[in-house]
């Protein structure tokens, strides 16, 4: 059917994102620049804080020098059960959504080679690790009958009004990382390491809004321009690290990871008054350069505590093939700030028993952002949001394990929580950012902004073999 033209009464405003999708900016920060990747149960129970301790295959995620700490070879696999819950509040009403997945979260091993002879080098170790994490996410935002879009016939007489009744955001997919590392032990005092990381991401994303027509009482379902889309990406990064024993009780560590250089292929829908078409788009993205500083205190063989501080040194940046890439880079340059995260993890050993815990806090990567947003009465005004797209992240981990000498088993629980503001609805046909239904093009001069409280409850179990 031919879509009716839209007439909006009111003052037009500048769009914050224009043709560039809000979801692309969010995915840039959350999916392609995020430091959160699954590991072993030990790693997850300590909130990823192992940069100066080492001795676990997942330390490749923070400091490859930790591979040099191993004095035995080992192999392990980790089953991950992931629960993702969103409580989304908009215009005084909250809606919840849940996603549950079970995956092989981590598998890998370390081969330890003892160096014989009169040399200060004690071990040279090789490691291979594969980790994966689901990025499934969905939000349901309530509508507002006071947000109304007026449509006229060609002669200027009223045709119908469309009232906004709800918004749906769905993302499905996963990110994975395969790391190959080498670590060395120099005189049991200095450990060095190098890691090569091969990244992969697959996602499908939907952005839909619903509207009620006053003419016939039917619901109109609109897809955002350029959605739904499917995206496959692969990337590469490298890391180097060092751990030094200041004395038998204190260790310091430092690591540097290059940007991840992503190659992305996106398949998306585009809508017009004449026809609908599907297009393919290639893009390149470099994530931030990251540094990790670590310190560990090991007073005896029964207890250890580690602190990691992770700092993003650069901003994500797209290679500019056209105006959309340039616009995205401008948004990131103006609003993205260097991400920082602090992690604390501890382990207590009693004979074969291990008890672990950890906490991590990651800052929001975005400064305050002002957008023209709707109020409950349907009017709009400029409002500032300090947690747009991605919010501050809190991670709490706890776990237990038992070492049978040749075999070990570990279990962990991890709670990850964040809160952020999610903008949607704004768009225009001129900039090709509106919502397209079967009968209408819906364009809005302002955003609806919902508050999303995200909670992840993850469970892990690891089986390992030492040899």
Name all domains of the chain by residue range, CATH numbers in brackets.
Answer: 6-466 (2.40.160.60)
Measuring CA to CA, which residue among 7, 54, 460, 64 is closest to residue 258?
64
Q: How many CA atoms lie within 13 A of 221 on its CB side?
A: 6
Read off the pLDDT of each residue in 175-188 and give the average, rounded to a whole number: 96
The pLDDT value given to residue 8: 32
Q: Quick check: 444 pLDDT over 90?
A: yes
DSSP character string of 372-404: EEE-TTS-EEEEEESSBSS--EEEEEEEEEEE-
pLDDT of residue 373: 94
Break the chain down into helix, strand, coil percent, rounded to 5. 10, 65, 30
Backbone angles phi, psi at 267, to 5 degrees: -110, 120
The span from the CA of 101 to the CA of 82, in Å, is 5
**What is the C-alpha separation between 19 and 225, in angstroms, rounded?**
9
Tell me what the mean pLDDT of segment 222-246 comes to: 95
Q: Are 103 and 78 in contact (CB under 8 A)?
A: no
On average, the pLDDT of the chain sits at 91
Instruction: Name the more confident of 191 and 279.
Output: 191
Query: What pLDDT, on a 0 to 100 scale, did the predictor assign at position 10?
Result: 28
Is the pLDDT at 5 greater than 90? The verdict is: no
Hey, is 139 helix, strand or coil? strand
Return the number of other C-beta atoms located less than 10 Å from residue 59's C-beta. 38
| Closest residue by Cα to residue 262 from 136, 132, 173, 175 | 175
Mean pLDDT for the stretch of residues 54-60: 95
DSSP-derived pairing of the beta strands 441-442 and 435-436: antiparallel
* pLDDT number for residue 456: 95
Which residue, among 449, 427, 307, has the nearest Cα to 375 in the 3D structure?
A: 449
The confidence score (pLDDT) of residue 14 equals 37
Handedness of CA 117, 252, 41, 57 (dihedral sign): negative
- The whole-number pLDDT of residue 18 equals 45
Closest CA to 427 of 194, 275, 223, 145: 223
pLDDT at 110: 97
Residue 143: pLDDT above 90?
yes
Instruction: Look at residue 345 in the predicted model and tell me its pLDDT.
Output: 98
Give the Cα separation of 328 and 317 in Å (integer): 8
Per-residue pLDDT, 24: 87
More confident residue, 429 or 215: 215
Tell me what pLDDT residue 156 has: 84
- In this predicted structure, what is the pLDDT of residue 38? 83
pLDDT at 119 over 90: yes
Please provide the DSSP assignment of 192-218 as one string. Answer: EEEEEEEEEEEEEEEEEEEEEETTT-P
Check pLDDT > 70 for residue 401: yes
- Name the pTM for this structure: 0.90
Average pLDDT over residues 63-83: 97
**pLDDT reading at 20 higher than 50:** no
pLDDT at site 273: 55
The structure tokens 């619901």 sit at 219
pLDDT reading at 194 higher than 50: yes
CA atoms of 414 and 396, how far apart (whole Å):
6
pLDDT of 424: 94
Q: Is it the case that residue 130 has pLDDT exceeding 90?
A: yes
**Banded model confidence at residue 359, pLDDT cuts 50, 70, 90:** very high
Compute the average pLDDT of residues 80-101: 95
25-51 per-position pLDDT tens digit: 889 989 999 766 689 999 999 999 999
Q: How far apart are the first and last CA of the chain?
A: 68
- pLDDT of 35 reads 67
Q: Any idea what the Cα angle at residue 109 is, between residues 106 and 114, rounded to 5°?
A: 160
Element (H, E) at 101: strand 93-114
Rounded distance, CA 178 to CA 139, Å? 30
- In this predicted structure, which of 108-112, 165-169, 306-310, 367-371 has the lowest mean pLDDT? 367-371
Distance of CA 400 to the CA centre of its chain: 27
């Amino acid at each position: 059917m031919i879509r009716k033209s839209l007439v909006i009464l009111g003052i037009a405003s500048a769009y914050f994102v224009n043709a560039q999708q809000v979801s692309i900016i969010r995915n840039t920060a959350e999916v392609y620049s995020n430091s959160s990747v699954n590991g072993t149960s030990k790693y997850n129970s300590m909130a990823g804080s192992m940069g100066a301790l080492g001795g676990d295959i997942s330390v490749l995620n923070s400091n490859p020098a930790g591979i040099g700490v191993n004095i035995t070879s080992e192999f392990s696999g980790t089953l991950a059960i992931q629960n993702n819950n969103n409580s989304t509040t908009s215009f005084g009403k909250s809606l919840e959504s849940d996603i549950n997945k079970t995956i092989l979260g981590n598998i890998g091993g370390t081969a330890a080679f003892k160096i014989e002879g009169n040399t200060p080098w004690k071990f040279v170790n090789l490691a291979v690790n594969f980790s994966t994490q689901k990025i499934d996410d969905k939000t349901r935002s309530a509508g507002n009958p006071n947000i109304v879009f007026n449509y006229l016939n060609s002669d200027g007489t009223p045709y119908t009004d469309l009232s906004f009744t709800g918004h749906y955001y769905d993302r499905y997919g996963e990110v994975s990382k395969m790391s190959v590392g080498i670590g060395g032990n120099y005189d049991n005092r200095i450990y060095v390491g190098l890691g090569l990381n091969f990244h992969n991401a697959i996602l499908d994303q939907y952005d839909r809004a619903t509207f009620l027509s006053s003419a016939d009482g039917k619901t109109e379902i609109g897809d955002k321009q350029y959605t739904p889309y499917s995206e496959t990406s692969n990337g590469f990064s490298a890391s180097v690290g060092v751990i030094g024993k200041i004395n038998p009780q204190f260790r310091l560590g430092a690591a540097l990871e290059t940007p991840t250089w992503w190659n992305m292929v996106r398949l998306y829908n585009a809508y017009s008054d004449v026809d609908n078409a599907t297009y393919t788009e290639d893009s390149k993205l470099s994530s931030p350069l990251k540094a990790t500083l670590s310190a560990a205190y090991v007073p005896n063989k029964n207890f250890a505590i580690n602190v990691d501080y992770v700092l993003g040194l650069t901003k994500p940046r797209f290679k500019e093939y056209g105006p959309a890439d340039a616009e995205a880079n401008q948004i990131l340059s103006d609003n993205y700030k260097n991400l920082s995260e602090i992690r604390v993890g501890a382990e207590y050993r009693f004979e074969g028993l291990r008890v672990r815990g950890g906490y991590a806090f990651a800052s929001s990567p975005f400064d305050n952002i002002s957008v023209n947003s709707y109020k409950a009465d349907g009017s709009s005004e400029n409002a500032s949001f300090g947690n747009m797209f991605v919010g501050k992240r809190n991670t709490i981990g706890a776990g237990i394990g038992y070492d049978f000498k040749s075999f070990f088993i570990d279990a962990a629980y991890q709670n990850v929580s964040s809160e952020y503001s999610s903008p949607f609805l704004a768009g225009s046909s001129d900039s090709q950012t509106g919502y397209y239904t079967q009968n209408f093009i819906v364009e809005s001069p302002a955003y609806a902004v919902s508050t999303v409280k995200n909670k992840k409850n993850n469970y892990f179990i690891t089986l390992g073999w030492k040899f």
